[in-house]
């Protein structure tokens, strides 16, 4: 690990000013400190943002809830109001890392974390995501990689919160330059779909401030499958959210994690679910639509039946 300066920011403007000179923001630090030790990032300064006012709040409302970027994952997991209003969000938070990690990890950090691809994380491998010429996973060990990608890199997004926020149609508010910018979750990650170097759509100096979640989908659920029950990233994750009235779906949204550089959604599937009965036939057809066009590689074909099962089970959980 190379030497760096350290400073604590007391406002978003000062944080952004200090980080512009090859700096990095520091909150929980779970991902950042790992990248520092593996020489994947080389900042001149770490800017502590944990003292920024107002970003550690959970605020409820009739039309939407707001989660500050510094809200810890453990707070989401333990929040009775979130468990009642957004059960899928509570379930997704509970699956993140270990209890010790959830006690310090933050909303902003979970959304902004970098790729977990082992070729990217291997400091001696100069893969495509590190400005190399090849995605080593495409013709190497790709068992944890994407089924869908818009570019040559097949490293998937692994953020639990991104997956459930996508299903809930949440909006991220980003401090960019000197003003707040609103992004859908799809927009927050769309650059990673087209650009193999990108992990998300954040520009240098951008700071996630908060996430707004509309209350229009009172039923939500999240499921994932991992190699290990505790402290492991998902092999495939699925989130679903909808309004269920008399057994029929409206405003349904389904998102998959760990199978694409972005939280994977299929507009045609969401449209298909509108007004449909919540039964085995409907959820199976929706799963077929969501996974249409998947391109499994040599070692990750198991993700297709796994994702199909998760979609069906997650949607059926909306029955309550």
Q: Which domains, and CATH codes, for the chain?
A: 1-53 (3.30.43.10), 58-113+155-214 (3.30.465.10), 219-317 (3.30.390.50)
Give the pLDDT confidence of 134-161 residue by residue, as tens digits: 999 999 999 999 999 999 999 999 999 9
pLDDT of residue 228: 86
Give the pLDDT confidence of 87-130 residue by residue, as tens digits: 999 999 999 999 999 999 999 999 999 999 999 999 899 999 99
Sorted by sequence, the CB contacts under 8 Å of residue 242 that are 6+ apart come out as: 217, 219, 220, 249, 250, 251, 252, 253, 273, 318
pLDDT of residue 1: 76
- Residue 170's SS3 state is coil
What number of other Cβ atoms are within 10 A of residue 114's Cβ? 18
Query: Helix 185-194 and helix 160-167: axis angle, to 10°?
Result: 120
Cα 210 to Cα 82, 152, 159, 242, 312, distances in angstroms: 16, 31, 16, 23, 31
Quick check: 21 pLDDT over 80? no
Parallel, antiparallel, or unpaired: how do β-strands 64-68 and 207-214 relate? antiparallel
Dist. CA 240–CA 220, nearest whole Å:
6
What mean pLDDT comes out for the span 36-46? Answer: 93
pLDDT of residue 195: 98
**Which ranges of the chain does DSSP label H, i.e. alpha helix?**
12-19, 30-37, 73-78, 80-85, 87-94, 99-104, 107-112, 118-121, 160-167, 185-194, 267-273, 280-291, 303-317
What mean pLDDT comes out for the span 209-215? Answer: 98
Q: 51: phi > 0 → left, psi -120 to 50 → alpha, else beta; which?
A: alpha
């Amino acid at each position: 690990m190379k030497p760096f300066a350290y400073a604590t920011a007391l406002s978003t403007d000062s944080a952004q000013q200090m980080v512009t000179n090859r700096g990095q923001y520091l909150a929980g630090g779970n991902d950042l400190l790992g990248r520092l030790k593996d020489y994947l990032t080389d900042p001149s300064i770490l800017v502590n943002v944990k003292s920024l006012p107002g970003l550690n709040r959970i605020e409820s409302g009739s039309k939407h809830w707001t989660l500050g970027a510094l809200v810890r994952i453990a707070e989401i997991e333990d929040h009775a109001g979130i468990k009642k209003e957004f059960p899928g969000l509570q379930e997704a938070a509970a699956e993140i890392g270990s209890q010790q990690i959830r006690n310090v990890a933050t909303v902003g950090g979970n959304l902004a974390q970098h790729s977990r691809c082992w070729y990217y994380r291997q400091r001696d491998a100069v893969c495509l995501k590190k400005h190399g010429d090849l995605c080593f996973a495409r013709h190497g060990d790709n068992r944890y990689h994407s089924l869908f990608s818009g570019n040559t890199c097949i490293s998937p997004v692994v953020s639990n919160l991104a997956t459930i926020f996508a299903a809930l149609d949440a909006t991220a508010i980003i401090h960019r330059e000197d003003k707040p910018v609103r992004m859908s979750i799809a927009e927050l990650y769309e650059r990673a779909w087209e650009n193999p170097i990108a992990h998300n759509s954040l520009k240098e100096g951008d700071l996630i401030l908060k996430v707004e979640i509309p209350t229009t989908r009172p039923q939500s659920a999240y499921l994932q499958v991992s190699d290990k029950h505790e402290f492991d990233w998902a092999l495939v994750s699925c989130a679903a959210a909808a309004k269920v009235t008399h057994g029929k779906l409206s405003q349904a949204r389904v998102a998959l994690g760990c199978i694409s550089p972005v939280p994977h959604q299929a507009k045609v599937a969401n449209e298909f679910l509108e007004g449909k009965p919540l039964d085995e036939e409907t959820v199976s057809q929706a799963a077929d639509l969501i996974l249409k066009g998947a391109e499994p590689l040599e070692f990750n074909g198991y993700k297709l039946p796994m994702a199909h099962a998760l979609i069906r089970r997650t949607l059926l959980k909306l029955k309550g």
